[in-house]
Amino acid sequence: MDSYLNKIKTLEAAIEECDRIKGLGKRVVFTNGCFDILHPGHTRYLCSAKELGDFLVVAVNSDDSMRIIKGPKRPILEEHSRAELVAALECVDLVLIFDEDNPLRVISDLLPDILVKGGDWAEDEIIGADVVKKRGGEVKRIPFVTGFSTTDIITKIVDLYA
């Protein structure tokens, strides 16, 4: 029942697994994010990312890195809960938690074949794009799904109970 928890790995274990997958001639896809309150925008994005390759790795921001990005009131769900929710998705093959405020070190260590971000990111602003391209990889942008936002969900909840 909890076999999806085996998808959550350390960076070292993720490097080994990605090397193994690439050794089989398969393409590793990488993306990252906070995934604070999982919603259909996230799931559609992750399923689309998986379609770009064979093995989807998702790096989830740690609580500390998320506070740097989103402010002192976030996250809503702690890092292990967020990682578990992402790991439970069928389209996701591996999840890791990273502490830095950006995923450059993780991308540099994993060297994915395809780096994916949402369409709301300009390609020249995608962290790690240069690292991936330099070794012959690709950078893909997935169209942003409107109508879903963690911030909007939080605001709606706060308004309901105000």
Digit-by-digit pLDDT tens for the chain (162 residues) are 579 999 999 999 999 999 999 999 999 999 999 999 999 999 999 999 999 999 999 999 999 999 999 999 999 999 999 999 999 999 999 999 999 989 999 999 999 999 999 988 888 899 999 999 999 999 999 987 778 888 888 889 988 888
Domain ranges (residues) in the chain: 3-160
CATH of domain 3-160: 3.40.50.620
Query: Secondary structure of the chain in the HEC alphabet?
Result: CCHHHHHECCHHHHHHHHHHHHHCCCCEEEEEECCCCCCHHHHHHHHHHHCCCCEEEEEEECHHHHHHHHCCCCCCCCHHHHHHHHHCCCCCCEEEEECCCCCHHHHHHHCCCEEEEECCCCHHHCCCHHHHHHCCCEEEEECCCCCCCHHHHHHHHHHHCC
pTM of this structure: 0.94
